[in-house]
Amino acid sequence: MTPFDLGFTHRWEAASSPGPTLLLLHGTGGTERDLIDLGRSVLPAANLLSPRGQVDENGMARFFRRLAEGVFDLEDLRDRTQGLARFVRESATVYEFDPRKVIALGFSNGANIAASLLLAGTGVLAGAVLLHPMVPFEPESHPDLTSVPIFVGAGRADPLVPVAQTDRLIELLTAGGATVEAHWQPGGHRLTRDEIEAATEWLQQGKRPWN
């Protein structure tokens, strides 16, 4: 359901009772529909807010531009990060959900823009599930991520995301005060059932800002 534009093509699905909101962020070439079923399964009581990336790369939607594989356009990343943060804030007003209970669930490019929301200090996320993320940029100073829980899922044989990239992102998030749980699987750049089960268990733990 998308009764409002808000600058992004998106889907909105309200939960049956007030609760947290999952911000679903697809990977390169995805759409606002890609992660809906996953969102419903990992946190059934959540609202679902799923925008489509605004950048067109050879017919594939992305959340920010890149100059080459793994080389990001940092100026565009900065602008797109702030634009996504505005979208989340405006959506909270329009759809009347609690802005203090927004959790990002992103895969690949979607995980990278979610990490950028965190490292840029936008303050729009109460937590995040980052699946196969990279370091989007190196912040000049550490943002205040105190009490922000973050789940990172990664593959030790990921051909697109070196292990060192994931480790560095965890360092940056932890340095800001976030509590990070890393789940490593032996495979590559794809979601596994084990990874999804671990993320689901993590999301549904009782001691969370959104529970």
**For residue 37, what is the DSSP state?**
H
Residue 211: band (very low, low, confident or very high) from pLDDT cuts 50, 70, 90: confident
CB 14 within 8 A of CB 5: no
Helix axes 109-119, 163-175, angle to 10 degrees: 30
Return the CATH fold of 10-203. Rossmann fold (3.40.50)
The 3-state DSSP class for residue 36 equals helix
The 3-state DSSP class for residue 122 equals coil
* Domain spans in the chain, listed from the N-terminal domain onward: 10-203
Residue 125: band (very low, low, confident or very high) from pLDDT cuts 50, 70, 90: very high
Distance between CA 136 and CA 156 in Å, rounded? 19
* Burial track 32-54 (b if 16+ CB lie within 10 A, e otherwise): bebbbebbeebbeebbbbbbbbb
Lowest mean pLDDT among 24-28, 121-125, 202-206: 202-206
Copy the structure tokens of residue 49. 């807010």
pTM here? 0.96
The pLDDT, as a whole number, for residue 108 is: 97
CB 10 within 8 A of CB 92: no
Catalytic residues: 108, 158, 189
Task: Pick the closest to residue 44 from 12, 11, 19 (CA basis).
Answer: 19
CB 46 within 8 A of CB 21: yes
The pLDDT, as a whole number, for residue 207 is: 78
Mean pLDDT, rounded, for 78-105: 97
pLDDT of residue 113 exceeding 90, the answer is yes
